[in-house]
Structure 1
Amino acid sequence: MITKPVDINHIFDEEGIELIKELGWYGSVFIQYHNEYDNEKLKCAKEYGEKYGLKIYSGIKISSKSSKEMLKTVKKYRDKVDMVLVEGGIIKISRKALEMHDVDILSTPELNRRDNGIDHILARLGSTHRVAIELNFKSLLEKKYYERARIIWAFRRNLSLAKKYNTPVVISSSAKDIYDIKSPNDLKSFLNTITMDANYSKAIMEMSYKIAEYRTYLRSSNVVRYGVEIVEDSNKELK
């Protein structure tokens, strides 16, 4: 059984959030592109999440061709959201993202490439800095024939490298409407077919929750850094 599965998607409307809950998700990371960030949409998503008992986390996806611009955007949003994703596809961007503790996920490393977008060096960087590699299910469904087969090959190759170097991996539905939303069992079944390892598939399904909770913890007002918190002295004498 998957413990507290959390999907990563672009869903913020009431119908979509209700369906995500009905399908068995514990939570949902509402992702917005950095150049379309709208705090009102996030507020709506959180309100609907409370209504239907779905934990809503906030996320931003940064798409940039410039490392300098990407770094600047990560710094701008790191303290505003629970999860920071950087869109891959360009090696210099992927490498820089995997070197940053402030980045949580390298999204679609295979984007617009003939290869899988990750080699053993990048996989090690992701392991060292605990930046996860994303398997974007929607990017697979949008393709046909040869392109779909190529993405499945890229997924398998990235999984092999991630498993070898202990690099975190997440899977996302990346749904944009109710027709894209998948259940946790759907995504886990897909993972089982490409990992051939049910335990590894389960670990991937649970990784999004771990990342989101870790970042939520770090954003707490009493947390200086991981493991260092400001606490009130309960033994302090009242005057």
Structure 2
Amino acid sequence: MVMDINTLNNEEDLKLFKKFNWNGFVYYQYCEDFSKDKYYEVSEIAKRLNLKVYCGVKIRAEKKKELRKKVKKFRDKCHIVMVEGGNLDINRYAVEMHDVDILSTPELNRLDSGIDHVLARFASEHRVAIEINFGYLLKKDAYERARQLIFFRRNLKLAKKYDTPVVVSTDCYDKYTIKNSYDIRAFLNTLVDREYSWKILTTLRKICEYREYLMNDNVVRYGVEIIKE
């Protein structure tokens, strides 16, 4: 099962999304505009199309205290908690938090990849995935796009070395930005070997299933459940 991270929210777009060989997606909203009702609306559409959908939030924060407060607020409301990267302090703090699932665009507005060997090791220890955002790459022009590819390669090299989870997203928002899952895998194959690219494509599903399991009422923590006789 291959999954994406995006903001598609209408039936026409989701029909095309399914036609492009995706099995499901994380529908995310920014923390400032988060609405669980909106997720339920998208979930109903996805259910009719036999697509699996999970609730996600992307958190923006400038200070560690602000990030900690927002993560705590949304952890029990969403399956997937993402943190928008870019600020090096936020990048580091995010990968040190068990309650964060994905560090999104760690290279945002930076002159480097936003990840070094220290952050990659922390992300591995706390199982925080690093995002390869294909949509962000497409917004770049000429030299900037080439530099972004260098950042992707560097982060992937570090992630593989330290066994850090990696996810890939199209970050599509309408029918014109939807990409075929086969094209995304072909893109990954230009950056890493085929076996690793498949691992990246399937990592998001594993994270979502793990968080969905933890949200069950009878689960105290991973591996500890309340059994009613």
Counterparts of 1:220-231 in structure 2, within 5 Å, are 220-231=216-227
Question: What residue number does 1:133 align with?
Answer: 130
How many angstroms does 1:85 deviate by? 0.4
Look up the equivalent residue of 1:45 and give its one-letter code: V
Residue number in structure 2 paired with 1:200: 196
Larger displacement relative to structure 2 (17-26 or 95-104): 17-26
Hey, what does 2:149 align to over in structure 1?
Answer: 152
Following TM superposition, the consecutive aligned residue runs of length 4 or more in structure 1 with deviations greater than 6 angstroms are: none
Amino acid in the other structure paired with 2:17 = I
Q: Does 1:54 align with 2:59?
A: no
Give the percent of matched residue pairs that are identical in Structure 1 and Structure 2: 53
Contact 1:127–1:166 under 8 Å retained in 2 = yes
Q: How far apart, in 2, do the equivalents of 1:218 and 1:12 lie?
A: 26
Q: Distance in 1 between matches of 2:44 and 2:6?
A: 17
- CA shift for structure 1 position 153: 0.3
SS in 2 for 1:61: strand
Q: Does the CA-based 8 Å contact 1:136-1:174 persist in structure 2?
A: yes
The residue aligned with 1:237 is: none
CA RMSD of aligned residues (A): 0.7
Which of the pair has more CA radius of gyration?
A: 1
Alignment check: 8 A CA contact 1:98 1:129 kept: yes
Aligned-partner Cα distance in 2 for 1:15–1:40: 20
| Paired AA for residue 148 in structure 2 | I
Q: Secondary structure at the match of 1:194?
A: coil
Deviation per residue, 1:153-199 (Å, 9 max, x gap): 0000000000000000000000111111112111100000011x000
Structure 1 length normalisation: TM-score? 0.94
2:105 maps to a residue whose letter is T
TM-score for both structures, normalised by structure 2:
0.98
Aligned mate of 2:33, from 26, 36, 40: 36
Alpha-carbon displacement from aligned partner over 1:112-136 (angstroms, at most 9, x marks no partner): 0001100000000000000000000
